[in-house]
Chains A and B, each alone.
Chain A
Amino acid sequence: MTLETLWALVLVWLVAGYLVLDGYDYGIGMLLPALGRDDRRRRLMLNATGPFLLGNEVWLVAVAGVMIAAFPGLEGALFTAYYPLIAALLAGLMLRGTGIQLRRFGRGPGWRTAMDAATVTGSLVPAAALGMLVGGMLRGAPQGLSAGAAAADLLHPFTLLCGLAGVLLFSLHGAVYLALRLGGPAGDQARAAVGRLAPAALAVVVAAAAAGALSGDVRAVLTAPVSAAVGAAIAVGACAAAWALARSGAAAAAFACTSVAVLAPFAAVLAGARPHVFTGRAGEGALTLSDVLADEATLALLAWFIVPLAVVGLAAQAWNWWSFRERLDERSPLYF
């Protein structure tokens, strides 16, 4: 195994962990208005992620840290090209963190309403931004445009459609998570939401895939369009499977499926544009991993630290999940 492959795997691992774990947090936040009919119910939903919220979010920080150390060129290219999306993602995270953590320390319902608005916004925006990032990467990054024009370019219908797909996929993932974690009527309501979200997500992914197939920009970026199509198909299949499994009460299996569903679009981009990890509009300015890789000597040294730490980190998080595996219900003690 080369250093390049090893570090690629580390980055993929961290990105996957981030999408699967913080992904359901975005889902929960977006579902607050629909599933959180009263204060107690909303608190249950937020406490369902409770002990895991901070730990889930930190995977994104790990992604940024590893990118700057191992793939500094990639971070530079991606963040410059999709600047507004990254900025929106960060702003959303700020709002969400505040909304959830400060929610119960108000003096009246007005405070809670404001905090919940922050949480919902702060969950919706990252979910949409991540979807739009997939769309933007599929279309290729516009070159040589002013800041305003580049931002406007991101509002292309295809990119927006991908954003919608992101919103629905993460909402579905969140709903399945809630069905898994919440007992009683709250869990039932979550399961019902899965029944409505799964077909919607499925449909939008199909539409996005079709639009991508018809888009000249996307075709110029994809070196292996079949792989991308397979990725889209996996997302669709995973949504369908999650739907069926949730209906029959197999929430854990459904969660595995929605995890695959949120990962699949990113895998589709990676596999479909390989070996490029970044592509400009019409296929220009494409970068491969070796183009953006940091110095070998540094990476060899760093690997001795980061790989064991990744294992330790996973073990710590698994301990967290195991310690709080008990389902929540109407009688559970709450922090948020």
Chain B
Amino acid sequence: MPLVDKLELARLQFGATLTIHFLFVALTLGLVLVVAVAQTRWYRTGDPHQERMVRFWGLIYTVNYALGVVTGIINEFQMGLNWGGLAKFTGNVFGTALALETMMAFFLEATFLGMWIFGWGRLPRRIHLALIWAVAATAYISAFWIIMANGFLQRPGGFEVRGDQAYLTDFSALVTNINPWNALTHVTSAALTLAGFAMAAIGAYHLLKGGRHTEFFRRSVRTGLGLGGAGAILLLITGSLQFNDVIDAQPVKRAVLIGDTERLAEYEAEMAGRFGEGSYAPDSLLPLKLLSDTMLYIGVVLVVLAVIGFVLLRRNAFVRRRWFLRVLLVSPLLPVVAMASGWLFREIGRQPWAVYEVLPTADAVSPGATAGGLLATLVLFGVLYIVLAAADYLVIARIARRGPDLDGWAFIQGDVHGEADGGGRSAPAAEGRRP
């Protein structure tokens, strides 16, 4: 499959940018809940541990979110840039979901998050707390609409084709489509799993290293393990629910998942009968079965890890078991790889359709896009994504290594006269040292 082909370049660019973007987003989806819950507890009890949780995980969340935005801006534009055919054909439906995502969710999320970041010590504590919950809510509304949009591609409904365009005929069908609801619950579970194991990993790092703040990190591992473990089990449940629907609506994926090559050939023949000659099996650089197997096996490993973790939570038995802490250290890689594999399976499994059984992907590419332009942007964005993602993870690793007192990287840094740690109305009196 030649890479200079327009279609392949466009697909590669989309797949790569979306996957990397999603990995950032998934961590923010999970962490925002951690931060919001911790801030609620802090607000209610004034517990200094909870305050440390908010500042430490909140800073990691903020830095990660920034790169989520940076890697996400392109995607809104990729539709117009590279997928003009899709935009023209489904603008009425797919575009509707995207427009709702930007205006109902992301617009507000960005505004409220800016206020939350800078509002430490400036805004009343109640407002500051409300803001992080507003950010969490709009983040999930955002995920909802994006997945609704994707769900339309996977299992289109509520539309009719007139001429060369799809027209929305039933808005409720767009939002009651079972496909994206299953996907949303599954993605949410994955986000919680990732956040949980990321917390556990960072906590495990400090427990292995020793030093200050063992109490803080021991409790972080507990929270992370609990969250990650619960997420893993939810993944299993939501994944099964999704499987039931997918095998119904997209028999190709089912055939691949269970390795039924006969059914796959049958299905191809059936499609050829309905839509004319051509190839109707998904093709890609990565074999579909490898992707689904990777995701499923990792899912199993995560559940096993969860069970072991739950056992070792009793009486903090995990603290002394260094082998387990080392496992936790690398555990976030599991959900990362699984999520990437899962999404790639979902999307590649949809091929050769952009809109399932309605619009082939080959027709979805912008007619005006050129192989040269696509290659240039692929290289440009590809390099940028890799470099910027690396910089972001470098910074997160640095923050993680410093621990909750952040050694001068306080959330809000004070004036030249001293490091006032956001003292004032948002911090308990003991912490604030505003000159």
Contact = CB atoms under 8 A, between A and B. Distances in A.
B69 A57 contact: yes
B73 A105 contact: no
A84 B366 contact: no
A106 B416 CA distance: 19
A98 interface: yes
A191 B51 CA distance: 41
A141 to B, nearest CB: 10
B103 A52 contact: no
B171 interface: yes
B41 interface: no
B370 A334 contact: no
Contacts of B409: 104-105
B69 A54 contact: yes
Interface in B371-408: 371-373, 376-377, 380-381, 384-385, 388, 391-392, 395, 398-399
Contacts of A151: 373
Greatest chain B CB density within 10 A among A50, A57, A64, A104 is at A64
B81 A86 contact: yes
B91 A55 contact: no
B79 interface: yes
Nearest to B85: A76
Contact of B106 (A61, A146, A323, A334): A61
Interface string B65-76: 011011101101
Contacts of A95: 384, 388
Nearest to B387: A98
Q: Is the interface of B mostly helix, strand, loop or mixed?
A: helix
Interface residues of B, number: 81
B413 interface: yes
B99 interface: yes
A296 B395 CA distance: 48
A69 B99 contact: yes
B80 A64 contact: yes
A109 interface: no
B8 to A, nearest CB: 16
Contacts of A301: 96, 168, 171
A42 B71 CA distance: 25
B226 interface: no
B411 A335 contact: yes
Greatest chain A CB density within 10 A among B73, B119, B414 is at B73
Nearest to A62: B102
Contact of B84 (A61, A70, A79, A101): A79
Nearest to A309: B103
A76 B84 contact: yes
Nearest to A81: B368
A94 B370 contact: no
Given A55-B114, A72-B87, A90-B73, A80 B368 contact: yes
B148 to A, nearest CB: 13
A313 B108 contact: yes
Given A79-B77, A105-B395, A306-B99, A87 B380 contact: yes
B335 to A, nearest CB: 24
B118 A331 contact: no
Given A53-B114, A301-B171, A306-B100, 4 more contacts: A51-B118, A65-B101, A68-B79, A148-B372
Interface of B: 62-63, 66-67, 69-71, 73-74, 76-77, 79-81, 84, 87-88, 91-96, 98-104, 106-108, 110-115, 117-123, 165, 167-169, 171, 366-373, 376-377, 380-381, 384-385, 388, 391-392, 395, 398-399, 409, 411-417, 420, 422
Q: Which 7 A-B pairs have the closest CB atoms?
A: A72-B91, A65-B102, A80-B368, A69-B99, A101-B66, A69-B95, A76-B84
